[in-house]
Every structure is written in C-alpha cells, then in structure tokens.
A and B are shown apart, each in its own frame.
Chain A
Amino acid sequence: MKPLRGYRRPAPGTQPEYLYPPYVSSLKRAPTKPLIPLPDSLSEITGPSFQKEIVPAKAFDLTRQGKGAPIGERIVVGGTVLDEDGHPIRESLVEIWQANSAGRYLHKIDQHDAPLDPNFTGAGQTFTDKEGRYRFITIRPGAYPWRNHANAWRPQHIHFSLFGPAFATRLITQMYFPGDPLLEFDPIFNSVPDDAAKRSLISKFDWATTTPEIALGFRFDIILCGRQATPME
C-alpha cells in the first residue's frame, strides 16, 4: 500500500474563525464544539477532476452572455492559482459570481432596489491553464446594502470558487478592489485575523492585465493549501 501524502492545514490566523460576532449571520450558524482533526486518508487527497468540456468556451467572458453589452465599467480580472509551495494549480475549475454594476444580483432573494441588467447574469466559469493562470472579462460590480447592522454596505466584490486537485484544497473566497472605502467597515473582509492574509483578498490594479482600448485589469492571485513534505503513515 502506497503511503499517503496529505495536505497541510492553513497557517494560524490566515482563515476566519467560524464565530465572528460582528458578522451577525455567524451567530446561529457557526459550530460551537471543537472541530475534530481528520487523519490523512484518500477521501480528502482525492477530489473531482472536472473535464474542460463542461465549461463553454465563452463562459469566461461575462460581457457576452446577453444580446447586447452589459452596463458598467468593463474590467479584466486575472491571476495565477498556486499552492503554498508555488506549484501551479493546473487545468482546474474556477467559478465566479457577482452583482451587476448597480449592486444587484440576478437572484430571486435579492430585493435591493437597483436595476437588473438584461445583458448580465453575473456568473462565469473557466479553467486555469498549465501555468495555473486564469482570466475573466466582466463588469465592475457595484456596492450594495445589507442588513447586518445599521447602514451596512458590502464593498465591491467578486465571489471565487476553486476546487484544486483534492477535496482538501477546496476554497471559496471573495476578491475585493483596491482603495474601496467600505473595506475597513466590512465584517466579512475583517473576519480574517492576520492583516497580510486579509489584504491578500484585495486585487491589484495591473498594467499587464489591462487590455489596451478595452478594459482596465485587476490581478488576483490565489493560493490553495500545500502538501505535506513527507508521506504520513
């Protein structure tokens, strides 16, 4: 039997605690009993291997899903997905979803009084390439109010969902924009204890991602957990 090489747990402080009282929804949903450490097993070092064919070739371009162009500032969002040791996460599924430029989601429970855009769904998918790179074309999402506390507004953000090679590497996160004045007041962003880890969620304006005559570019690199150096017994 081949020894298993498991995945490392994220470093302390880089991940939010489940219970973060300023984020009110965590109060009745965060577990109260200690988590039980899992021994390494095949169940967590394997995971779904999606075939590229499941994603239509145009699904990376959220500006071309309707009959016309969506309203708002067109942007390119791209970056590299690596593990903690710098190895590229190759040919791996990336999903995004977001509000439109007015801060409204195409979702039945979003009742924010802002217009829907008939040419914008706000959902996209792509696969990373052999170097772990991904790229989306989209519209800069608007900020929107939510009911966490009085006059609460979410900073502009794009939701990212990544699988990586294993059940253990699954990650869902949010990408923010540089200079957003709402960041310092947002309990979801501020739930990350470590300041450098928290700031890694803010994308960077990037000339290399910016497409001349087309759209400004924002770079958002993502790191998934790394593997154990030595096989575990």
Chain B
Amino acid sequence: MSGLTTPSQTVGPYFGLGFSWLERTDLTEGATDGTRVTIRGRVLDGADQPVPDAVLEIWQADAKGRYAHSEDAIDLVAPNKFFGFGRVPVNDKGEFTFRTIKPGSVARPDGTPDSPHLVVSVFMRGLLRRLITRVYFPGEPTNETDAVLARVPLSRRQTIISHAVTADAETLVWDVHLQGKEETVFFE
C-alpha cells in the first residue's frame, strides 16, 4: 500500500491533555558538556496579543553538533547522552522558557558548517499545520555563511536570531510573531 501524506489538523485548544506527560523544558538532562543557555520569549498573534495556548517542540544537536539519531554518528546507547528534544508550552501570558545547551555546528553534505541552531515546531489552536522555524545564536561568525540563513532576506534574519539580555549571554530572548511587521520567518 502506498498513498499520500495524511492531512494535518489543528491541535485545538486542549492539546495539553495529550501533550503534558511528555513536557520537557530542561534539555540539559543527560548532557555532559556544552554551554548552558536559557531561551525565553513570547508567542504573539496578528493583533500583537500574547497567545496563551501554544506549544513549541525543539530538536537540536549536542555540543559537538551531533544528533542522537541513527542517521548521525551518536552512540545511542552511550550513558549521559544528550537527547535533544524539548516540548515547551507557553503560560497564560504567552511566555515560554527552556534550558538547553548551545549546540555545535552541524556539517553539511559539502563539508561546510551550519551555524549552531535549534529547529522548532510551533503548534496551537488556529494553526491547521505546524509552523517550522529555527533559532540561531547571536554573534556567530557562521551566521554569515549558513545555508538556511542565506535564503532569508536580510531584513527578516533577526527574527530567527535570538538576542542576549545579559553580558554573559546565558539568557537569550527569542519571540515568535505569527504576523505583522516583525513576522517570524517560517520554513517549509
């Protein structure tokens, strides 16, 4: 049997019922090395109002740029491995926060490095399909050459590069704007 991909449908307003058992807002669990960072922000709708019913899912490489997946080189049974998955709901004010490690850069097929980044799915009532976006880190020289950032018009790149709020860059801020002048870059 073969066929076409099943249509996506919205998570609706009650996804917490099905999602909460697997919430994971501290991705550092199991990581032995890597710079710890806290990433926080808000999800805002087209009227600039906070979205109180959204959830983010994070996927990322470890500090060496390796994914805990059979198609990458991580030893899946090694102890203290970094898992790389997060499920982060927003609160009543549309705010989210999660703790993770800064990933290393991942090599592309041609050998050039991707700039360190997280990939993110955004789910909420009102979204018939998930939104796909990325979070990059400020001040990375490889942000200038990253193959995905290069596809984003310069005027919109800042929407997917988090910014530091403390001198040591331990806390980074990244907001999701669903619409408007600052609309976040979403991918397909």
Contact = CB atoms under 8 A, between A and B. Distances in A.
A15 B45 contact: no
B119 A1 contact: no
Contacts of A177: none
Contacts of A44: 119
A10 interface: yes
Interface in A166-212: 166-167, 170-174, 188-189, 191-192, 194, 196-198, 200-201
Nearest to B49: A28
B115 to A, nearest CB: 11
Given A28-B45, A31-B131, A41 B108 contact: yes
B72 A46 contact: yes
A30 B187 CA distance: 13
Interface string A80-119: 1010111000000001110100000111011000000000
Contacts of B124: 29
Nearest to A32: B179
Nearest to A4: B109
Interface in A127-183: 159, 161, 166-167, 170-174
Interface residues of A, number: 83
A66 B69 CA distance: 36
A67 interface: no
Contact of A106 (B17, B59, B147, B188): B17
Contacts of B59: 43, 46-48, 167
Contacts of A2: 109
A43 B18 CA distance: 25
Contacts of A192: 7
Given A25-B126, A49-B70, A41 B45 contact: no
Given A32-B179, A43-B117, A18 B128 contact: yes
Contacts of A223: 3-6
A173 B130 CA distance: 10
B126 A28 contact: yes
Looking at B14, B68, B84, which has the most chain A CB atoms within 10 Å of its CB? B14
Contacts of B16: 107
Contacts of A196: 4
A119 B53 CA distance: 26
B9 to A, nearest CB: 4
A233 interface: yes
Interface in B1-35: 1-19, 21-22
A201 B109 contact: no
Contact of A11 (B4, B22, B129, B186): B4
14 contacts: A1-B111, A27-B126, A29-B46, A32-B183, A36-B151, A41-B106, A41-B148, A43-B67, A96-B18, A109-B13, A109-B53, A159-B11, A198-B7, A233-B109
Interface of B: 1-19, 21-22, 45-47, 49, 51, 53, 57, 59-61, 67-72, 76, 83-85, 106-111, 114, 117, 119, 121, 123-132, 134, 147-148, 151-152, 156, 178-179, 183-188
For the complex of A and B, the 8 pairs showing the least CB-CB separation, nearest first, are A97-B18, A25-B126, A29-B126, A46-B69, A16-B128, A48-B85, A28-B46, A35-B188
Given A18-B127, A27-B46, 9 more contacts: A15-B7, A30-B179, A31-B179, A84-B5, A97-B15, A107-B14, A123-B17, A159-B9, A171-B5
